[in-house]
Amino acid sequence: GAGTFESGSYVFPVNLTIISNLSVGGSTLFVRDNGNVGIGTTGPLAKLDVNGVAVFGAGTSAYPGISFRDNRGYGMFFSANDLGLSTASVERMRITSAGNVGIGTTAPRSTLEVSGNLTVTGNSTFQSNMTIQGGNAIRFNETSNANIYYNGSCLIVQGPTSRLEAC
């Protein structure tokens, strides 16, 4: 039959089986007979259903505070007031407390900083200046030989069949 535990400590020498739902403190913690656990709700809709604020440990890129089952190095972690995302135990993206987003860098210096190759499909609009650092060319298509580049003394616009130099 149904029973009530009084205050104190209990040790069960074997597994404790609960036939129906388990409720601790009303709706504070609720375990349904289907295995779903609710915190702050008596009707959990998933394996873990939290109604309210949940706090997780900070974690690292290798052991994220929020990670995915069977993929321990994949998830989200907190580092120095920044939010990081990792895959294969390596940090891939960071959002700083200043709102800067870095992909391939842990210290983005602008609103968006990408360290590595970037492919943009579709139209791109630059509302201000574009600066090229560490390279000297804008390539319009890898196969068309259409480039704009600076050779150290001249600006060169080169197409598949013609070339214009401004020195």
CB 54 within 8 A of CB 40: no
Q: How confident is the model at residue 3 (pLDDT cuts 50, 70, 90)?
A: low
DSSP for 100-133 reads -EEES-SS--SSEEE-S-----S----SS-----
Tell me the per-residue pLDDT of 41-77, one tens digit each, with 9 for 90 and over. 888 888 889 888 888 889 988 888 888 767 778 999 9
The pTM (predicted TM-score) of the whole model is 0.62
Q: What average pLDDT does this structure show over 100-109?
A: 95
